[in-house]
Structure formats: C-alpha cells, structure tokens
Amino acid sequence: MKNQLLYMLFFLLFSISVLGQTKEIDTLGVLKLITESEVIEYSEPKLALRGYDKAYRLSKVLDFQNGAFKASLYAGLVHSNIAQYDSALFYYKQAEEVNKTIKSSLNEMKIALNRANSYMFKGELKSSIENHLHGIQILEKLKDSTRLADAYVNLSAVYLELDDFDKQIELLHTSLNYTPAENINKIALTHTDLALAYLMKEEYEKAFSSMTKADSISKTTDDKMLTFFVNRNWGEFYLHRDIFDKAVTYHKIALKQAKENNYNYYEMDLSIGLGDALLNQGSYVEAEQYINTALKLGRKENLDELTKKSLNMLAILYERKNDYKKAFGFMQEHNRLKDSMISKERVEVITEIDKKYQSEKKDKEIAEQQLALADSRLAIQESNSKTRTMNILIVSLLLGSILLWFSFRQRQKRMQQQLVAIEKEQEVKTLESLMEGEEKERFRIAKELHDGVNGDLAAIKFKLASLLETNNQVINEAVAMIDNSSEQVRAISHNLVPPSLRDFNVLEAVATYCENMNAIHDPEINFQHLGEDIVLEKKQEANLFRIVQELVTNSIKHAEAKEIHVQLSNVEENLQLTVEDDGKGFDVDNVASDGIGMQNVKSRVDYLGGLMDIKSDAKGTSFTITITDKPAKA
C-alpha cells in the first residue's frame, strides 16, 4: 500500500512537470508567431494580421496574457499603417481589456499613444490630444526620455492640423531636448517636422535651415523612413515657395517610396500634394488623377480631412478649366462636409459638458437624499427631548437647500456661458475662413490680371508700335490708350494684392496705397503714422489694410470730399486707425443699409477684436477703429 502511494505521488509530480513544460513550449510558439509577423508588417500586412490573430487566439487558450496583449497591440499598429483607423482602434481596445488583467502602466502608455495617432489621422483631434497627454504623463513618471521625445513629436503633429504652429514648434524643441545627441536619425526626422511648421508660418529661412540639417544627416545613413520624409518635405517646401517643377519631382520620389514601404497614409497625403503642384503648373489631367486617387481613398477609409481637401482642390481645378457646373458641385460637397465636421466637433463638446453637468447633478441628488435620511433619523431619535435641536436642524436644512439651489443656478449660468463662448469661437473660425478665401481669390485675380491681361496688352502695343513708321495718328492714339489700360490693370492688380503688404508690413502698404490713390483721384489723400512700429500677424495686417481700402474708397465715391486723412497710431500699445474726410456726410443710424462694403468693414473689425466709432455731419465723416487686442512692440 505504501509503495502504491509513492507511485501515485511520483506520477502526479511527473504529470505536472510535463504539463508545465508543454505550456512553456506553447507560449514560445506564440512569441515566435508574433516575431515572424512583426518582420513582415510592412511588406505583407495582411499575412502579418493573420499571424497576430492566430497568436491572440492561442494566447487566450493558454491564458498567456502578455502574448494576447502584444498580438492585439501589434495588429492595431498594422491596421493604422494601412490607414484602417477604425480597425486599429478596435484592436487597441482589445489590448486595453487584456491589460486590465496584467495591470501594466507601460502597456497603458503604449495603448494611449498609438490610439492618439489613430485619432489624429481620423481627424478627431480632441481625442488625439487627450490620449497623447495621458501617455506623456505615464512616460514622465517612468522617466523614459527616448519615448518622451517620440511622444512630443507625435503630439506636435496634432497642433499642425489645428494651425497652432507656435505650439507645434515648442513641442518639437521639447522633443529635441529629450533626444540623445547620438540619435542623429531621430534628430533629423524632428528637423523635417520643424521645417513644415516654419513653412506654415512663412519663415522660409528657418524652414530651409531645418531641411538642410535633415538632408545632410540622411546622406550619412540608410534609414528609409528618414530618406522618405526628407524627400516628402522638400516637396512641401518647394510647393510653398511656388517652385512647382521641384515640388513635383520630390513628391513623385516620395510617393514611390511610400508605395514601396506601404506608408498608406502618406501615399494619400502625397497624392494631394502632387495634385496641388500639378494644378499650379497647369497639368490639369495629371493633377485630376492624383486628386481623385486621394478622394477615393479618403472616402473609403472615412478620412474626412483628406476628403475635404480633395473636394476643394477639384473645385479649384474645374473652375480653372471653366467648367463652373462641376466646380460648383464639388465646392457644395466640400462645404457640406466641412459644416458636418464642425457640427460634429461642436456636438461632442456640448455632449461632454452635458455629461459632466448630469454627473454633478446626480451626485448632488444622492448627497441631498443621504442628508435628508440622516436628518430624519436624528429627528425621530430626539423628537421627544430635543425640540430646540430639531428647529436648528430645520433652519440648517433650509439654508442648505437655498445654498444648493444657488449653486445649481450658478452652474447653469456657467454652462450657458461656456456654450456662448463655443458659439462665439465657431463664428470667429467661420469668419476667418471666409476672409482667407477672399484673400486667396484676390491673389488669383491679381496674378491673372498681371500675367494674362497685362501681357496681352503689351503684345498688342508691340505690334502696333511696329506700324508707327506710317505716322498714323490713329495708331499713336491706340498705343497711348494701351499704355493707359496697362497702368490701370497694374493699379488694379496692386490694389488687390499690394506688393508692399506681402513683402514689407502694413505701414508700408497703407502709405504706398494712399500715395497711389492720391495720384489718380481728385481728393487730396494724406497718411500719417504716430508712435511705435506696428507688429501684427500677416492675417491681421491684411484685414487692417482692407479696412483702410474700403473706407478711403467710400470717401472717394460718395463723400465728394476735398481732403481725406488716414492716420495709424500705436502709442503705449494702443493701436488706433482713423479715416476722416471733409465731405457731405451721411446718416450714421442707417449705416447698416449702406451695402456690403460697410458690412465687410464691420466683419473685419470684429475679427480683429476691435471697436468702431462713426461720426458724420454736413462738415465731414470720421471713422475711429480701436484694436483692443494690443499688438506686440517692435
């Protein structure tokens, strides 16, 4: 009997040992599957996904949580690489469920940062920022400087989409501070991103410097991704500088590399860039092919931002081909998508506010119920002997209710103020988009007048001048008329997009404009500048200049004035524009009915955050505009 017990014990121990070894062998098989799939992620993404799926299912059978986590996370990365962002988010959620058992902060960080990138590519920027910040918070606790450098670069890309280029540049420099000096490839990649940010700010020398640094490093390594981004961002640099032949060359090289390495998102992005460059070259057929490719992919993968850009470019393309029906159709579709994106974002913000409010309200109701229950019990216990205490409690309860009601009213008021602020911000964004569109259209018309009509007039003048040997008076008069027309076309072109505003600043532009208008119109137009130099962003300068144009033009057309005075002052950081004339004046109370010109002035003043005061009588009219958002000192 004793021997039988010994045999049974030996057999049990042997079975446990064999089972442990079998499980260990199976988990090694899972890790091997994951490694093999990781090697072919870019070359054969579908085959890699099948490997990760098999590894995940086997890990669940073996209760191998680390294997299940890796398989889920890596599957999400592959879907993100091939621009299937909803699928990527599904697998990141699956990895998150697995990590609830593992409880690893490192895994939590990986999920947050990869999820943030997918949200960014989908255009859901608020969710992207939230996930980036969550991942960065974990990395700061772990003091992982290498991963922190990558996280700040990825977060900077979100601010590029938000047009907050100063914040983007700040984050990229933070990334460089975390990047080790020996990691030259990472430093070079960060400089390619810095170049894009400087391009958007039109700081071309800084952009060129960053690109040159990245290019120099790329020539010393064989890093495919670095080489790709150098070529791609050189294309963007030359596109911004209107050197379209070089932009097309670099974009085509980068597009080829994107296809070879399965950089699916950038393949779509480069199709847009190529379409833009070819469109500006006048290669409409080839441009349309690339833009349609981007539009098709954008619709397929539900990438609203990419789809919106493609529709806008197709509208421009057909407008230039004089196919206004198609141009109008694409622009309508673009506007509908843009409005839906704005509405979606606004609904999300309002929903979030409402959720917070409802949660607070529920907590308050529970607290009130608990307080009432406690008071009732206390009242029952002491009702016979402590009447005075009960009265005090009733008064306290009444005061508490009043305070709770007052708190509720204040919370409602704050929420209403938040909603008003959101609506105000949206109105400013819409107004800014309209003004940017107007400036772009002015530039296009000015360019066509200068390059097209003026060129044709010069050619006609040359041909007529060759006939002057006949001493024909009619031909002489025709040449004189063409000279006059050329001057008018040049004046119109410069009024639409003043070179002095583009190349210098608003003071130079206003002074030149007043001088030119004084030369061709009867009223004497004087310009005066008081105080310090005026330093504004280019968008603000353009709007301030357009206000001057509109007010001076109105005085010339309607006031029958003999003198017009324009004054810009910047004293102690108080910026003020004054336009006065000695004309016949008008009814200030009916200024809203004066037409679209004055409405444009009011819109631009609102955009600048300014206040406008109008005084007018039989002796003349005075417009005084004070900019409350003070400019920086020079």
What confidence tens digit (pLDDT) does each residue in 101-150 have? 999 988 999 999 999 988 888 878 888 899 999 989 998 888 888 888 88
pLDDT tier at 386 (50, 70, 90 boundaries)?
A: low
pLDDT digits (tens, 9 = 90+) for 260-299: 887 777 777 888 888 888 888 888 888 888 888 888 877 8
CB 76 within 8 A of CB 95: yes
Sign of CA dihedral 482, 485, 491, 494: negative
At 424 the three-state DSSP class reads: helix
* Class of the CATH-defined domain 501-627: alpha beta
Residue 308 pLDDT:
84
H or E element at residue 529 = strand 524-531
Residue 593 pLDDT:
44
Residue 21 pLDDT:
46
The answer, yes or no, to whether residue 91 has pLDDT greater than 70, is: yes
Position with higher pLDDT, 277 vs 350: 277
How big is the chain, counted in residues?
Answer: 634
The answer, yes or no, to whether residue 432 has pLDDT greater than 80, is: no
Residue 536 pLDDT:
82
At 297 the three-state DSSP class reads: helix
d(Cα 128, Cα 158) in Å, to the nearest integer? 7
pLDDT digits (tens, 9 = 90+) for 154-192: 888 888 778 888 988 999 999 889 888 888 888 988 998
Distance (Å) of CA 451 to CA 440, 461, 498, 601: 16, 16, 15, 30
d(Cα 210, Cα 504) in Å, to the nearest integer? 24
Q: Which of 2-16, 79-93, 163-177, 376-390 has the least mean pLDDT?
A: 2-16
H or E element at residue 126 = helix 125-142
H or E element at residue 33 = helix 2-39
Q: Which of 10-19, 144-153, 313-322 has the least mean pLDDT?
A: 10-19
Residue 423 pLDDT:
61
Helix residue spans in 143-283 (DSSP H): 145-161, 165-178, 184-200, 204-218, 224-240, 244-260, 264-281
At 563 the three-state DSSP class reads: strand
d(Cα 517, Cα 495) in Å, to the nearest integer? 10
Mean pLDDT for the chain overall = 77
Position with higher pLDDT, 8 vs 328: 328
- Edge-to-edge strands, sheet with 524-531: 524-531, 563-571, 574-581, 620-627, 610-617
Least Cα distance to 254 among 273, 279, 277 occurs for: 273
- Domains of the chain, by residue range, sit at 501-627
DSSP labels, 564-578: EEEEEEEETTEEEEE
The answer, yes or no, to whether residue 15 has pLDDT greater than 50, is: no
pLDDT digits (tens, 9 = 90+) for 22-77: 455 578 888 888 998 988 888 888 898 999 999 899 988 888 989 899 999 999 99
Least Cα distance to 83 among 233, 300, 344 occurs for: 300
- Which pair of tokens denotes residue 575? 């910026």
pLDDT tier at 258 (50, 70, 90 boundaries)?
A: confident
At 162 the three-state DSSP class reads: coil
Residue 338 pLDDT:
76
d(Cα 596, Cα 225) in Å, to the nearest integer? 52
- The residue behind tokens 């490719």 is 293
The answer, yes or no, to whether residue 346 has pLDDT greater than 60, is: no
pLDDT tier at 196 (50, 70, 90 boundaries)?
A: confident
pLDDT digits (tens, 9 = 90+) for 466-487: 565 555 666 666 666 666 666 6
